[in-house]
Structure 1
C-alpha cells in the first residue's frame, strides 16, 4: 500500500501525524509526505521521505497571521490563510497523486488541497485530527480564502474548483479524548494521541530534581515571533521569578536573546522536547497551541492557557471547562498571572482531573492498530 500524507507547513499540524506515518512504514507500507518545499527539512528530520507540494512559499504572505485577543477575527484570519495555502499547493498535490499513484491519502484538517486532489484522482482519503475539531466558521473562511486565489470555472482540478466539492473522508480519525472535545461537533474514530516534538535533547539541568516546582513556559514555534506576544511572555517569565519555582522556557533558540536577560530561575531555554519535559513539570503556561495542549493532557500536567490565535481560544475554554487548568485573556496583567499560577500549583483538583484525561488517552487505540483500517479502505477501492 502507498500512503500519501499531506500537511500545511506548520510543526503543530504535521507532528501529530508522524506516529501514524511511522506505524504505516513499520507495517511494511510505502509512505510519502507532501508539503511546501520550505517545510521539507522538517519532514525529512522525522525520518520520513518527503516531496514538495509546491515551490518555496512565503508563509507570512499567504497566511497573513494576525495575533489578536479577538476570537472571531483570529478564526477568520487563520481560515482564509489555510484556504490560500490550499490554492497554492493544489496543482502540485494533484500532480503527485497522478504520478506517485497512492492507494490512500491522509490529511490533517487544515490541509484542504489533499482531499481535493484525492477526490479528483479517485483516491480514498482519511482526515486525522490534531486535537479539537475545528468550528464550521473556520471551514467557511478557508473556502473564501481558496476562492481568493483560484478562479472559479477556470482553475479546476477535474471539475472541482471549490473546497466544498470534495467527497467525504473514508475515515475520520479523532485523537482528542471525548471528555475534552468541543460539544456538538461529534467524535470520529478514536486514535490515541502520541506526542512527537521533533528531534531535540533534554538538557542535563532538567534530568535531576530541582528542589522546587518546574513550570514550562512556551508560546509555540510560531507565535513567539510576534513582538507583542513575546513581550507578554517576557513578563510571565519575569513574574515567575518572584515565586519559588523554576522555569523551562521552550522556544526557538534564535528568539531566546530577544527575551532579554534570563534570571537564575530559568534553568533551560531553547527547543525543548515537551514529551520528555512535561513529566518533570508541575504546570505549563502557554498560548493554546494544539500540540502543546494535547501533550500536556497526555502527561496529566495542569495548564494555564493565554490564547492569541484561532483555535487557541477553544483550547483555553476547554481547559477551564474540564478543570484541567485555567485560562486568562491576553490582556491579563502580571497579578492575574501570578495568582493563577499560585492557585494551580496549590490546587490538587486540577492535577487529579488532568490525570483522569491522561488515563483516557492512554486507553485509546495506538496508531499501529489503525493501520489495518487504512489497509481495508485502500483494498476496498482497489478491489
Structure 2
C-alpha cells in the first residue's frame, strides 16, 4: 500500500508524524513525505523519502496575504489564532501546485496529514482518496480550523463543499487525561519522541549530583526568532543551584558567551538527555511538551503563542506542570519560585508519571498502521 504523508514547514510539523511514517515503511508499505522544500533536510534525516510540494516556506505564507501584501502578527490572542489559521490555509493553497501532480503520478492509496496541513483534505476530495488527520501535539484550538475554512471558502465553494472535508480517521497522540474537553472520537496512538541526533557524550545520558534542569525555546530558534526569549529564560533560571542545560542550535549557544561550569549549551538529542532531567523549562512547544511527559519530567511552561495556552493550562490543571504567562507573571522571581516548587514537590513528578504510563498504554504506531490499512481496504470494498 502507498502512504503519502503531508507535512507542514517546520520540525514541529515533521517530527510528530515521523514515527507513524516509519512504522508504515517498516511494515512493508511504500512511503513518501510531502512538505515544504526548506524542511527536506529534516525529512531526509528521518531516513524517509521526501518530495517538496512548494518552494516557499511556511513563514512566507504566514507573513503575506494572497496578493503578496505583508501582514503584521496580531497582538490580540484571539486574532493571533485567526491569523495562524489563515496562514496555514494559504500554505495549503501554495502546496497544491506540488501535491496534485505528486498524487497524479504516484497514485497513493491513502493520505496522512498533520493536523494543520489543510491541502490533504482538498486533494483527497479531488481524487476520492481516504485521508487521515494526525495530531501534532496536545490539541490546537478549534478556532484555527474555522479560520482556515474561512480563508479557503472560495476554493471550497468551487469544489462544491461547504466545509473542509472530515477525515476518515483522526490519530490522537495526546494522552486521554489531558485532552481537550471538546475533542471528538479518535484512534489513539502512543506518542513516540523523534528528534535529530548527534554523537553522544557521557554527560548526555548520565547526570551528576545536582538537580538537572533543561531550558528550551523549541526547534525553530534562530538569531531572528525566539533567540532573545531563550536568553531571557536562561537568565531567569541561572541563579538556581542546579546543573543547567540549554537546548539550542550551536550558533545560538555560542552567542550566549562564556557560561559557568554548571551550564552546558548546544544541540542535544532530547530523547536521551530529557530522561536524565528533573525539570524542563520551555516555551510550550507541543512536541517538547509531550516529549517531557513520556520521559516523566515535570514542566514549567511559558507559552510563546496563544494556541499553546490551552494545552499548557490543561497540563497545569492535571498537576504535571506550572504555567506562567509571558510578559505578565514570568518575572525572574516567579520563574525561580516555580522551578523550586516543581523540583521540591514530588506531586508534580507523580502526576507526570501517571500521564507517561497513559501514553505507554496506547496503541503503538505499528498498530495504527494496521488500523489505517484496514480502514482503506474497507473503504475500497464500499
TM-score after normalising by structure 1: 0.91
Give CA-to-partner distance per residue, 1:43-74, whole Å, 9 cap, x none: 111000111112x2143331239778753233
1-structure distance, mates of 2:79, 2:252: 26
1:93 to 2:89 alignment: no
Q: Which of residues 111, 117, 125 in structure 2 aligns to 1:119?
A: 125
With over 3 angstroms needed to count, the CA separation of the structure-2 counterparts of 1:63 and 1:374, relative to structure 1, is: same
Q: Please say which of residues 338-347 and 87-96 is displaced more in the overlay.
A: 87-96
2:275 match: 279
2:31 match: 31
1:63 match: 62
1:235 match: 232
With over 3 angstroms needed to count, the CA separation of the structure-2 counterparts of 1:23 and 1:232, relative to structure 1, is: closer
1:136 to 2:142 alignment: yes
Q: CA deviation at 1:156?
A: 7.7
Q: CA deviation at 1:166?
A: 4.0
Contact 1:97 1:118 in 2 (8 A): no
1-structure distance, mates of 2:333, 2:309: 21
Q: CA deviation at 1:42?
A: 1.0
With over 3 angstroms needed to count, the CA separation of the structure-2 counterparts of 1:230 and 1:36, relative to structure 1, is: closer
1:290 to 2:296 alignment: no
1:381 match: 379
With over 3 angstroms needed to count, the CA separation of the structure-2 counterparts of 1:352 and 1:134, relative to structure 1, is: same
2:181 match: 183
Count of paired positions: 372
2:216 match: 218
2:247 match: 250
2-structure distance, mates of 1:315, 1:256: 28
With over 3 angstroms needed to count, the CA separation of the structure-2 counterparts of 1:283 and 1:223, relative to structure 1, is: same
Unaligned stretches of 5+ in structure 2?
Answer: 64-70
2:350 match: 352
What's the secondary structure of 2:198's corresponding residue? coil
Q: CA deviation at 1:244?
A: 1.0
Q: CA deviation at 1:161?
A: 7.7
Unaligned stretches of 5+ in structure 1?
Answer: none
Q: CA deviation at 1:6?
A: 0.2
With over 3 angstroms needed to count, the CA separation of the structure-2 counterparts of 1:122 and 1:108, relative to structure 1, is: same
What's the secondary structure of 1:123's corresponding residue? coil
Q: Please say which of residues 123-132 and 351-360 is displaced more in the overlay.
A: 123-132
With over 3 angstroms needed to count, the CA separation of the structure-2 counterparts of 1:72 and 1:102, relative to structure 1, is: same
1:49 to 2:49 alignment: yes
1-structure distance, mates of 2:60, 2:345: 43
Q: CA deviation at 1:214?
A: 0.7
With over 3 angstroms needed to count, the CA separation of the structure-2 counterparts of 1:156 and 1:137, relative to structure 1, is: closer
Q: Please say which of residues 174-183 and 230-239 is displaced more in the overlay.
A: 230-239
What's the secondary structure of 2:376's corresponding residue? helix
With over 3 angstroms needed to count, the CA separation of the structure-2 counterparts of 1:381 and 1:225, relative to structure 1, is: farther
Q: Please say which of residues 191-200 and 235-244 is displaced more in the overlay.
A: 235-244
Contact 1:304 1:326 in 2 (8 A): yes
Question: Once superposed, what is the RMSD of the aligned Cα atoms?
Answer: 2.2
Contact 1:160 1:166 in 2 (8 A): no
Q: Please say which of residues 197-206 and 171-180 is displaced more in the overlay.
A: 197-206
With over 3 angstroms needed to count, the CA separation of the structure-2 counterparts of 1:68 and 1:232, relative to structure 1, is: farther
Q: CA deviation at 1:224?
A: 5.5
TM-score after normalising by structure 2: 0.91
2-structure distance, mates of 1:260, 1:319: 34
Q: CA deviation at 1:37?
A: 1.6
Q: Please say which of residues 179-188 and 334-343 is displaced more in the overlay.
A: 179-188
2:13 match: 13
Q: CA deviation at 1:260?
A: 3.8
